[in-house]
Amino acid sequence: MHFGIAGTVTPRDEWGLDQACGLALEARGLSVETAAKLGWLSCRGPTNSADRWIAIPYLDEGKRVGTKYRTVAGSKLFTQAPGSQQILYNVDCLRDPELAGDPLVITEGEMDAHAAIQSGYRKTVSVPGGAPPSDDGGDGPKWHFLEHAAALLAKEKLIILAVDGDANGAVLCQGLIRRLGRTRCQVVEYPIGSKDLNDVLREQGELAVRKTLATAQYVEVPGLLRLRQIPEPPRREATSTFIAGEALDPHLKIRQGDLVVVSGPPGHGKSSFVSNLVCNLAWNRQMVSAICSMEQPVVPDLRRTFRSYRTECLERDMGEQQKCDADQWINDKFLFVQPEEGVDLTLDWVLERFTTAVIRCHASVLVIDPWNEISIQDQPEGWTHEQFISQSLRRIKAFARQHNVTVIIVAHPKKMSRNRDGKIPKPTLWDIADSASWFNRCDVGIIIYRPRPQDDQTTEISIEKSRDHYSIGVPGTVSLKWEMHASRFVDLFLNKD
């Protein structure tokens, strides 16, 4: 008969361990003395065969609630007495106050539990029904022994799983981990040639059993690591913005993998700043940018700005050859993301184009200008707009890290009232519309502000947030002047006496 089928045999005649059973146990490396303490008895087999049988009592609070009959030599056979309860073998060890601080060992069979107990691990139990061939994750009859001992098991801080090292044992191991919690579970690794603790005991002795149990390793919990387990990240080089020479370098450097958020009042130069930045990176670092510009048409607006940067003169003053040379440079260093008529500009749609730009054209700078043109059509039902922005920025940051690119997003502030002087006050990152995540998620946060927009082009470039002061600069403000004819920021006092 197969193990695990209770109530299929009549009770057997039992007596103290006789010489034949004792010799059979010793052949397996098992101590007769330990077996006797555990209450193991010789018993009559179901036939007159030469197989040696023993009766293994299952006790619960000192009361015998079941019996496992099995052979110890010859053919491997198992049966149970009628009505045997399916509980952990040796469950009473969990109630022993002397063992309260010991680790709990769980084995797949009583012989393996015997090996552990004999080797000094007295707080050892065995599952009653062996290892299941599969596990659907439910709480079927094969796992009821856990429910019976749930209150006792809840107190255990360390559980060593010493089940068989075969396919069924792997199913049992994972099932126990799932139900007991990976936080407190360790798994043994058997010496080569052994598949369970009884094998280790028979082949190498008690010391090897103790070593096997003592060197069990905790089940890996993803996301919890020691320093030695954390790989050295690839070095991310920070580069100058080349804006007004090196004027911004103490406060801002551009680094691949970062999310840069640029904000400021309408008409104060946010897009001009981003255009100057990507042109500088293209000219000085040969970096390719992919730009999703929704408020400035690429032709003629962005083209005019980039032409002026390349030729350092207004478009109306350029010759045809200058325009041709500038356009060739623009074609080489820039890609433009533009939806066809009727296409919703969702984040998924934009990221697909950005991915293509990175893979096919080696783009390393990606620009969304401005964010408020991104469609919310794919916002999950029930989400607030703030939740949608927070999760979108999380996705974008992960995208930047995965592809090792810099992502720059222009985000408008909420509508701000003019002060008593009729001026729009300088916003902060917290003033960006719809979500505090603009401040929380970005690696670099920049505010572009012109104190006197009607009078001159003096521009305050304020780095309000820098996640890595050591590598990309400390927060601070630099005042520069916008030179329209060259599409770039220059020193405020350039060409002044």
Query: How far is it, in rounded angstroms, from Cα 375 to Cα 309?
Result: 31
Cβ atoms of 164 and 131 within 8 Å: the answer is yes
User: Considering only CA atoms, which of 334, 350, 351 is closest in space to residue 280?
Assistant: 334
**238-415+422-491: CATH homologous superfamily?**
P-loop containing nucleotide triphosphate hydrolases (3.40.50.300)
Q: Is 336 helix (H, G, I), strand (E, B) or coil?
A: strand
pLDDT computed for residue 47 by the predictor: 67
pLDDT computed for residue 353 by the predictor: 96
Cβ atoms of 282 and 333 within 8 Å: the answer is yes
Beta bridge partners of 216: none
Cβ atoms of 153 and 69 within 8 Å: the answer is no
pTM: 0.69
- For 104-138, letters b (16+ CB in 10 Å) and e give bbbbbbbbbbbbbbbbebebbbbbbbbbbeebeee
* Distant-in-sequence contacts of 313-318, Cβ < 8 A, 24+ apart: 313/485, 313/486, 314/484, 314/485, 317/485
Q: Which residue type sits at 331?
A: N
- Specify the domain boundaries for CATH 3.40.1360.10 within the chain: 14-218
Cβ atoms of 267 and 273 within 8 Å: the answer is no
pLDDT by residue for the chain (497 residues), tens digit each?
233 333 445 677 889 999 999 999 999 999 999 999 999 999 888 765 667 799 999 999 999 999 999 998 888 888 888 889 999 999 999 999 999 999 999 999 999 999 999 999 999 999 998 899 999 888 888 899 999 999 999 999 999 999 999 999 999 999 999 999 999 999 999 999 999 999 999 999 999 999 999 999 999 999 988 899 889 888 888 999 999 988 999 999 999 999 999 999 998 999 999 999 999 999 999 999 999 998 889 999 999 999 999 999 999 999 999 999 999 999 999 999 998 888 889 999 999 999 999 999 999 999 999 999 999 888 898 999 999 999 999 999 999 999 999 999 999 998 877 777 778 889 999 999 888 899 999 999 999 999 987 777 799 999 999 999 999 999 999 999 999 999 999 998 755 54
Would you tell me which CATH number, out of the four given (3.30.565.10, 3.30.420.610, 3.40.1360.10, 3.10.180.10), belongs to the domain 14-218? 3.40.1360.10
Which H or E element spans position 328?
A: helix 320-333
pLDDT computed for residue 6 by the predictor: 39
Query: How far is it, in rounded angstroms, from Cα 150 to Cα 146?
Result: 6
DSSP states of 71-132:
ESSSS--EEE-TT-----BTGGGGG-GGGTTSPEEEESSHHHHHHHHHTT--SEEE-SS---
- Backbone conformation region of residue 341, classed left if phi is above 0, alpha if psi is from -120 to 50, else beta: beta
- Specify the domain boundaries for CATH 3.40.50.300 within the chain: 238-415+422-491
Query: How far is it, in rounded angstroms, from Cα 171 to Cα 165?
Result: 10
pLDDT computed for residue 50 by the predictor: 65
CA 208 vs. chain centroid, Å, equals 36
User: Considering only CA atoms, which of 22, 45, 46 is closest in space to residue 32?
Assistant: 22
pLDDT computed for residue 151 by the predictor: 96
User: Rg of the chain's alpha carbons, rounded to an integer?
Assistant: 37
Which H or E element spans position 321?
A: helix 320-333
Q: Is 261 helix (H, G, I), strand (E, B) or coil?
A: strand
Beta bridge partners of 406: 365
